[in-house]
């Protein structure tokens, strides 16, 4: 039985950010009432920027930031100081503005000779933080690309069918071309997945991602996000939800 769709539609991006921030805070505090730390996967791209700013400005004292272990779902293969770096963006907008424990920040490395070596290194990092069965993130924040990609798993690429590696190198059609990405086996071990999808340009990819029609994962990688035991909540604004039946 497929999971029931949990789609939350907001009139504006601003109201989405306010409600999503509160949900993230509640989720973190709920889990930390039972565990000593919280493993959080951050997404990159532009969508999460207002969310990271809002969390830094309004949740500095409402979330025990020092108990959060930060990971990334993907990265552009550029220096962390590059304006296109997902880690660099999160550091500027969130991590530098809340009391995190630097030992708990696990950026994807981008200074190896090749992305494949960096992917292998990040897999070692994940294995050092989780027992080697598979990582089990408490919450993964994911975005949706206009082509239906998720993390840096792009349509018609072999990386999507990866079943054993936890982290792969991939090639984007947009600069920066070289990327690192978690794979579906790892993403789908998350306890909770929040998709953040906003804007008119995401109406069609969201329609395809949620459609009951037979659309292959090859053609819309976001359809490959199927948590084994966890849940997905789609946080979308009205513009992005325009075509959802
Ligand atoms: C990245 C992201 C990527 C992103 C989508 C949506 O590195 O770009 O991790 O998967 O979530 O491309 O990007 P926007 O939020 O910029 O539309």
In angstroms, the CA 140 to CA 188 distance is 9
Q: What is the pLDDT along the chain (245 residues), one digit of tens a residue?
A: 456 889 999 999 999 999 999 999 999 999 999 999 999 999 999 999 999 999 999 999 999 999 999 999 999 999 999 999 999 999 999 999 999 999 999 999 999 999 999 999 999 999 999 976 778 999 999 999 999 999 999 999 988 889 999 999 999 999 999 999 999 999 999 999 999 999 999 999 999 999 999 999 999 999 999 999 999 999 999 999 999 98
According to the model, what pLDDT value does residue 134 have?
76
Question: What is the edge-to-edge ordering of all strands in the sheet holding 231-237?
Answer: 7-10, 231-237, 192-197, 139-143, 38-42, 68-72
Q: Cα of 151 to ligand 1 centre, how many Å?
A: 7
According to the model, what pLDDT value does residue 3 have?
65
The residue to mutate among 13, 45, 157, having the most atoms of ligand 1 within 8 angstroms of its beta carbon, is 45
Q: Cα of 214 to ligand 1 centre, how many Å?
A: 24
According to the model, what pLDDT value does residue 1 have?
40
Tell me the pTM.
0.97
CATH of domain 7-236: 3.40.50.1360
What is the total residue count of the chain? 245
The residue to mutate among 43, 52, 142, 155, having the most atoms of ligand 1 within 8 angstroms of its beta carbon, is 43
Taking only Cα atoms into account, the Rg of the chain, rounded to an integer number of angstroms, comes to 17
Q: DSSP alpha helices (H): ranges in the chain?
A: 13-32, 48-58, 86-93, 115-129, 184-187, 203-210, 238-241
Our answer on whether the CB atom of 46 is closer than 6 Å to any ligand 1 atom is yes
């Amino acid at each position: 039985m497929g999971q029931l769709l949990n789609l939350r539609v907001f009139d504006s991006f601003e109201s989405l950010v306010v409600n999503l921030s509160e949900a993230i805070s509640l989720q973190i505090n709920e889990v930390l009432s039972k565990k000593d730390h919280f493993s959080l996967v951050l997404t990159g791209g532009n969508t999460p920027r207002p969310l990271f700013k809002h969390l830094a400005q309004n949740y500095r004292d409402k979330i025990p930031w020092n108990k959060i272990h930060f990971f990334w779902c993907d990265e552009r293969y550029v220096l962390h100081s590059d304006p296109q770096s997902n880690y660099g963006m999160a550091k500027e907008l969130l991590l530098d503005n809340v009391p995190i424990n630097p030992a708990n920040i696990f950026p994807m490395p981008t200074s190896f000779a090749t992305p494949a070596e960096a992917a292998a290194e990040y897999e070692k990092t994940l294995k050092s933080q989780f027992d080697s069965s598979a990582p089990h993130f408490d919450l993964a924040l994911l975005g949706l690309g206009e082509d239906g990609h998720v993390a840096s798993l792009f349509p018609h690429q072999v990386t999507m069918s990866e079943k054993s590696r936890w982290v792969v190198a991939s090639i984007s059609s947009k600069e920066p071309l070289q990327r690192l990405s978690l794979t579906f086996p790892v993403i789908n071990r998350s306890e909770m997945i929040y998709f953040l999808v906003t804007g008119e340009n995401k109406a069609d990819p969201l329609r395809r991602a949620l459609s009951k029609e037979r659309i292959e994962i090859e053609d819309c990688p976001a359809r490959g996000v199927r948590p084994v035991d966890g849940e997905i909540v789609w946080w979308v604004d009205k513009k992005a939800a325009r075509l959802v039946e």
